Amino acid sequence: MNTEAEKPSQPLIELRGVSKQFGTHQILRDISLTVQQGETLVLIGESGCGKSVTMKLIMGLLNPTQGTVLWNGKSLSERSEHELTQDRLRFGYLFQGAALFDSLSVFENVAFGLRQNSAMSDHYIQLIVHERIQEVGLPVSVCDKKPAELSGGMKKRVGLARALAMTPEIILYDEPTTGLDPIMSDVINSLIQQTRLRMPVTSIVVTHDMTTVRKVADRIVMLYPLSRLDDDEPQIVFEGTADEAFASTDSRVSQFVRGEARERMQELMVG
């Protein structure tokens, strides 16, 4: 038996016993999870359960109150500020609202990271920007427009083009389909899939959209609000595939993935 071949690879990203507290308000408690290279991990859970905070901890934008965040097996606390800055260039981030710079054109938005973090010539930057814009299904002519001239779906696609411009190893998607109609949501979900097929990329997606979960997730982690848990209950209430989530007998999981509010409405009426 080849035990070496069976040995799991080192996680690209790992959280070990991570807790996060702001003043007296605790958001995360003893979270441990891994992200393997090349997979698409989807974080789900109610608003306020700590999904976005988890994303910021993963990127090193926040420090844990307790526990350790590791990239490639090395703790972020062991890295210098210069190392952290350089390593963050491996990440691309699609913000919930796209977060485009209103005063810049689409071209300058997508080129922003390249201009700030590389010594590329203007000609090469133009080639990359045009390539990324076309990869997200937009015509090159959109480059001259300002964000105010774009629809919500177009802004999301420009935001994705900007995230892809630096050829990241890891892409974080924060509610990528929020505010979009079903057709445009499917476009964004398809682009997430295509990006993974086109590039050797690892993806972490925060979403409430079960269509997105079904379409892009290799693995799901569901967080639960601490305010609704006893002190000895784990905050991660589910980890598995989309099919396993929909088949779960845990009412917290099944009600969330199926959008069933009956129990919650009863709680609100009692309260």
What's the half-sphere exposure (Cβ side, CA atoms, 13 Å) at 39? 18
Reading the block at residue 96, the tokens are 């919930």
Amino acid 153: pLDDT = 87
* Consecutive H or E run containing 238: strand 236-240
How far apart, in whole angstroms, are the C-alpha atoms of residue 260 and residue 142? 41
H or E, element range at 171: strand 170-174
Q: Which two tokens stand for residue 22?
A: 């702001």
Closest C-alpha among 103, 102, 96, 100 to residue 113 = 100
C-alpha 79: how far from chain center:
23
Q: Please tell me whether the overall predicted TM-score, pTM, comes out greater than 0.85 for this model.
A: yes
Amino acid residing at 130: H
- Answer whether 82's CB lies under 8 Å from 88's CB: no
Query: DSSP letter string over 205-240?
Result: EE-S-HHHHHHH-SEEEEE--GGGS-TTS-SEEEEE
What are the pLDDT tens digits along the chain (271 aa)? 454 555 557 899 999 999 999 999 999 999 999 999 999 999 999 988 999 999 999 988 899 999 999 999 999 989 888 888 888 888 988 887 778 999 999 999 999 988 988 888 999 999 999 999 999 999 999 999 999 999 988 998 999 999 999 889 999 999 888 888 898 889 889 989 988 888 889 999 999 899 999 999 999 999 999 999 998 899 999 999 999 999 999 999 999 998 875 565 555 555 5
- Note whether 201 and 168 are within 8 A (CB): yes
Q: What angle, 0 to 180 degrees and rounded to 10, lies between the N-to-C axes of helices 182-198 and 122-135? A: 130
